Structure 1
């Protein structure tokens, strides 16, 4: 599987870009999966639901299944966070995995940047960031794309991973 990342500070458009890239790349005939890093404790089920009750009771894993989908939740219970490489082994093979977040991992990434956040550009000091998608003009050694030019960004990503 080919892996490419979308990274950046909070509120820079990462999720919107991933969503648009998935649609664009799938429309081109490729299979795509995503991995999203969350910085905080999160729940995919809610208090009172059977799966929540199973997890709260101490289950290490809870697998939900229906005629439409299945989902596996794994509780770390104090164990260290799982590295991206290990998480990728859990996925069914596809043409491309788009990874949102995981700033510290070494895979190639495009950084989302919005001037309004006031945050510095990570690409200036992170060699794994091979391009920037921004809502403003930026002078960088790496390619810079308009944050909303999904087709051009998709072309770039596919070329970078050898699917172009």
Structure 2
């Protein structure tokens, strides 16, 4: 169980400061995908996606698997997420943009689903520092527990996004 994450290096934080890269990691979580397959799922240019894939490979967030024969005899390289991003805290790196990248990835992904089928909660608590720290600690333990579970072979893929922010309107 990972309740204490290490700070991301500057290079790692910069790699995760892109909503596209965060989405690539999610796409390659359950299955290995080639650059062309990733580009197709993102509706993006394969050359642009390759730039992002290389950055993720260079920083250890994606790993290249054994090459395989593709259509027309071409050689394809599938990529798989390593899960490394869950082990670190991007907020302590000093690099800005990581939180925005997570939000951008979430907003793009939620557009692809029927939001009426999503479970949504909204709560407006008033917390002192101790209460906030307790809530964050409990949620961290829960999220780490879920992340550590092996995927169910017959399971349905879900995405979980949690945001806690100061409420400037109150």
Fold similarity call, TM over 0.5: no
- The TM-score with structure 1 as length reference comes to 0.24
- The TM-score with structure 2 as length reference comes to 0.24
